[in-house]
Amino acid sequence: MHLTKEEERLLESDTPAVRKAMELLVELGDIYGAEEMVEIESAQASGISYKSIGDPGVEFLEGFAEEGAEVSVTAFANPAGMDFEKYEEMGVSEEFAEKQRRIRDALQEMGVTLSFTCTPYLAGNLPHRGQHVAWAESSAVSFVNSVVGAKTNREGGPSALSAAITGRTPKHGLHLEENRQPTHRIDVDVELDDQSDFAALGSWAGRIVEDGKPYFTGIDAATTDELKALGAAMAASGAVALHFVEGVTTDMEPPEHVDSATFGAGERKAEYAELNDGEDPELVVIGCPHCSPEEIADVAEAVEGETLESDLWVCTSGAVKTWADRNGHTETIEAAGGQVLADTCNVVSPIEEMGYETSATDSAKAANYLPGFGDQQVVFDDKLSLVEEVIER
């Protein structure tokens, strides 16, 4: 692998963390056959929930910070295992909270922006088309590659952090234009009526294409929230990091000579059945990926003046929550008995320790992951239908 003089210098740095970060990237580059590094504009580090990384992760991050790790580009953090202010109301133990705070402090020492969100592009980290970045969270990777047009592989936690420290990443995979071509064609032959329909489509498509790059036809229009739901679902049921939506995210012609499949009304119905294995949820969670301001406003409008008979979490970034606070949406949701939570979600928080057996979600990503935590059962539907269902009549 060709290294520049600056990269050689980083590899021989007197600062142990810088040296280790560069060694890791060179090793990864060799594994993937990269010929050189590429400089990045920003990084996004995942694997920072105590639930995901446990004590070894806490010790690794603290040790890395002590060894002089310091980011050299904008670096955002993925969601943590709790809302740092409302963890007690969530039912998170003090022991978990203490470990999560140690992770936060180590990240802060390294200069990571304490954003704790999987939608950095809604909260102050928005690259532009063609820029190289090193992001780790799968739904954010999908969004930034497919909708924004920046370039990233799906990094792991340590490789994203190493990229943040050194300001570069091995140039392979989706950093190379020749690898950013569609591998499958998915014809959508049914109206997608709401965000959960996009999520169901993504969940279905992800299983078919696995780590391919699907090109969708038949979608006339999509909101930013619908596109984030589509990408998140495909990243969870498959490992899709780049997709194309004809006329919406790309002007590219449909690919020829690739495998194709059709998503119609039957497939949509079957996918809802596939994602549903529970009823009567004790907890409704909206905000996977983290909510936009519009999504929170919609939930606030739906619950205004009502009383909820189940718990409701509306998950978002601290930045977006600030706007929800200012606009009175947080107050409205709390008056109905719900909570607007920053920094976390029901997948990366210790949900299995909180006594909920059935939770409801409009996210196919959450619906794919939740059954893996204890005996969680899932109700999957559109967000407003889910909220309506738990309003006391």
User: Site residues (CB under 6 A) for ligand F3S?
Assistant: 79, 118, 139, 232, 288-290, 315, 345, 347-348, 363, 365-366
Closest CB 43 distance from ligand F3S, rounded Å:
16
Burial class, 326, CB count within 10 angstroms (exposed 0-12 / middle 13-18 / buried 19+): exposed
Dihedral, CA atoms, 190, 192, 197, 199, nearest 10 degrees?
100
Compare residues 174 and 366 and give the one whose CB is closer to ligand F3S. 366
CA 246 – CA 141 distance, rounded (Å): 19
Nearer to ligand F3S, 300 or 366 (CB): 366
Burial class (CB in 10 A: 0-12, 13-18, 19+), 14: exposed
CB of 288 to ligand F3S, least distance (A): 3
Residue nearer to ligand F3S on the CB measure, 25 or 379: 379
Rounded least distance, CB 376 to ligand F3S, Å: 13
Tokens of 232: 């998140």
Of 340, 262, 329, 339, nearest to 302 by C-alpha is 329
Report the nearest approach of ligand F3S to the CB of residue 328 (Å): 24
| Residue linked to tokens 């998950």 | 315
| Closest to ligand F3S by CB, 145 or 166 | 145
Residue 369 · residue 288 · CB < 8 Å:
no
Q: Specify the residue, 172 or 290, whose C-beta has the smaller distance to ligand F3S.
A: 290
Q: Tell me the closest approach of the beta carbon of residue 83 to ligand F3S, in angstroms.
A: 13
| Shortest separation between residue 47's beta carbon and ligand F3S, angstroms | 11
Q: How far is the CB of 32 from ligand F3S (least distance, A)?
A: 25
* Cα atoms in the 13 Å half-sphere on the side-chain side of 340: 31
How does 206-218 read in b/e, with b if 16+ C-beta sit within 10 Å?
Answer: bebbeebbbbbbb
Give the β-pairing of 168-170 and 37-39: antiparallel
| Structure token digits, residue 276 | 């549903």
In contact, 282 and 370? CB cutoff 8 Å: no
Nearer to ligand F3S, 57 or 79 (CB): 79
Question: 72 or 363: whose CB is closer to ligand F3S?
Answer: 363
For the CB of residue 344, give the shortest distance to ligand F3S in the complex, in Å. 8
Nearer to ligand F3S among residue 78 and residue 166 (C-beta): 78
Closest to ligand F3S by CB, 72 or 117: 117
SS3 74: strand
Tokens 């978990």 identify what position? 96
| Closest separation in Å from C-beta 315 to ligand F3S | 6
**Cα pseudo-dihedral 196, 198, 199, 200, rounded to 10:** 90
Which is nearest to 103 in space by CA: 156, 54, 48? 48
Contact in structure between 198 and 169 (CB atoms under 8 Å): no
